[in-house]
A = this chain, B = another copy of it.
Amino acid sequence: MLGGYLGKILRINLTTGELKDTFFDEDVLRKYLGGSGLGARILYDETSPETDPLGPDNLLIFLTGPIEGTKMPNAGRYEVITRSPLTGSYGEANSGGKWGVRLKKAGYDGIIFKGISPKPVYLYINEGKPELLDASELWGKDTFKVDDLLREKHGKKACTCSIGPGGEKLSRLSCIMNDGNDGRTAGRCGVGAVMGSKRLKAICVDGNISTPVVKEAELNESVKKWAPIIMKNMEGLREGGTSCAVPFIEEIGDIPIKNWMGGSFDVEKLATPTMNATILSGRYSCANCSIRCGRIVTIKDGPYKCDETAGPEYETLALFGPNCMVDNLEAIAHANELCNRYGLDTIGTANAVSFAMEAYERGILSEEQLGCKARFGSEEDMIQIVHKIGKREDFGDVLADGTKIASEKLGGIALEFAVQQRGMEFPAHDPRYADSIGLQYATSPRGACHLSANCHGEEYGNAYSGYGFYDHGVVALENHSTEYKPEMNTELEHIMCLCDSMTCCKFLIGPMGDETGETITNWLSYITGWDLTKEELIKTGERIFNLKRMYLVRDGQSRKDDKLPQRMRKRRMTGGSADNIPDLDGMLDKYYELRGWDEFGIPTKEKLEELDLLGTL
């Protein structure tokens, strides 16, 4: 018996306007769960190396997972899976907020878009009834405005996700935003451009359909026990948000500075005590979450004045801050707000700004080309460049497609300081600080991703436990060492694939300590009615990771593509990671061996057979 989890997917052909409900077989759902697992399966089966990411044959897949809409903590996320215009291959992005749960309550586990609409449309689903509606009035508007207008029309209980001008203009840095000025975002891989290419402006969902849970009493009881523990163990995150540890991260040399050149930066003006004492006006939590790591900020006056709006996360703060040499917290909050409104990934955009600053200061990008100056440390220049990227004006038109394309346009030494992998810009964790981060960026299917192994927390604490999914006890870690990093990343990648497929927040991995693995397995069993074991789940995570790898392999990728950009092979010279260059090749040898991949990084037949993938590729 299925616990209500039918894999009910709304399939929409935007070219013809046809809408159709479809379902997945239980064995497929059990093998791939939902979210990025099921999405990778669909994308593998229904796109090919010839599929143009911005053409009609690409799919734009929105998926929740089996736990969405239940009482399981931190179960409020959704995944977007598509062929990425930024990386040219497998792409995924996920987001929190309330939209994912509301989609489930509207009656669907997911939506798959194909084709291109003849005119701008948005999708409205109200309790199982989907309609494609005209979006000509919304086209050109920013994401906050779109949320206002749609909820004015369809009621305040409705949730929206949408693209801004960034996605409309097919910027490869564009994202999909949800929940208006709550500022939640499926940020990476240029998913906004895919939505823009389909002329799909927004998805507005409403409903109150509940998610059946097979063993509801057991779930409720267990959640009741764990909820306060999770809340307590994540107090620091609630207090300081994701940027709670900024001074520590600067000291150890993990934070990017001056377009990843390194050095040191006085982060005091950006740190939690400053934010809490100045612009912080509230704390935000996604659906089903008691951690409340989100920031709500208000700037009362001055050039960056704004009402209550989403504040910058750690990645945004670090990349618009030290990496652009800007120490004005209000300016950073404003840049964040601009990105949210334009519908631009702050990680990609901030990297594009710091890249432009370096190009400008080295004299290979002129003020005339860019339409403004681009000085490190200038908040005015930073804000202007964000506008230029959002509007695709002047050289902002090139930067809007990311640093790889911009560096190829400028040529010469610009190719040396575009800090990206597989075309995707680096998040704000430096591989020179911890070798596992380098291995993660090199091997993550979507490029430079800090959530693929999510290993920076382990490196901060110098310890890795396996979280009860793996029972090897606590392993001590040295940051500047390759020791145990391939082993750890391999395991964490399986666990993270599970999070992205169930789909739950990654902050749920950890606060339950060594009981995490068992507890999550139980919860998923209670919900679905499947008699799951940790071992089956781990294998599921491994299956999903290997499937994504095979998507890359089919596109011609192999070991040669598991790499780090030139700047990561240059020492930072000062600070906590001054002298470390990760031995990527040494780690890859070991990592491939552990994974059962051949010397070129291609899964062997034996491994694919072990994971029940062989006949499916």
Residues of A that sit less than 8 Å from B by CB: 411-413, 415-416, 556, 558-560, 566, 569-571, 581, 585-586, 589, 599-600, 602
Contact = CB atoms under 8 A, between A and B. Distances in A.
Q: Copy number of this protein in the oligomer? A: 2
Nearest 10 pairs of A and B residues by beta carbon: A569-B585, A413-B600, A412-B556, A560-B566, A413-B558, A416-B600, A411-B556, A415-B560, A416-B560, A416-B558
A415 B570 contact: no
9 contacts: A412-B556, A413-B558, A413-B600, A415-B560, A416-B560, A416-B600, A569-B585, A570-B599, A571-B589
A427 B586 CA distance: 25
A415 B585 contact: no
A411 B412 CA distance: 25
Contacts of A599: 570
A566 B556 contact: no
Contact of A566 (B559, B581, B602): B559
Contacts of A581: 585-586
A413 B602 contact: yes
Contacts of A416: 558-560, 600
A382 to B, nearest CB: 24
Nearest to A553: B412
A263 to B, nearest CB: 13
Contact of A558 (B412, B558, B559): B412
A452 B581 CA distance: 28
A570 B411 CA distance: 30
Contacts of A558: 412-413, 415-416
Contacts of A589: 570-571
A464 to B, nearest CB: 26
A557 to B, nearest CB: 8
A64 to B, nearest CB: 35
A198 to B, nearest CB: 30
Given A411-B556, A570-B599, 18 more contacts: A412-B556, A412-B558, A413-B558, A413-B600, A413-B602, A415-B558, A416-B558, A416-B559, A416-B560, A416-B600, A559-B566, A560-B566, A569-B585, A570-B585, A570-B589, A571-B589, A581-B585, A581-B586
A89 to B, nearest CB: 13
A571 B411 CA distance: 33
A581 B602 CA distance: 22
A558 B558 CA distance: 25
Contacts of A566: 559-560
A419 to B, nearest CB: 13
A298 B585 CA distance: 46
A585 B585 CA distance: 13
Contacts of A411: 556
Nearest to A588: B569
Contacts of A571: 589
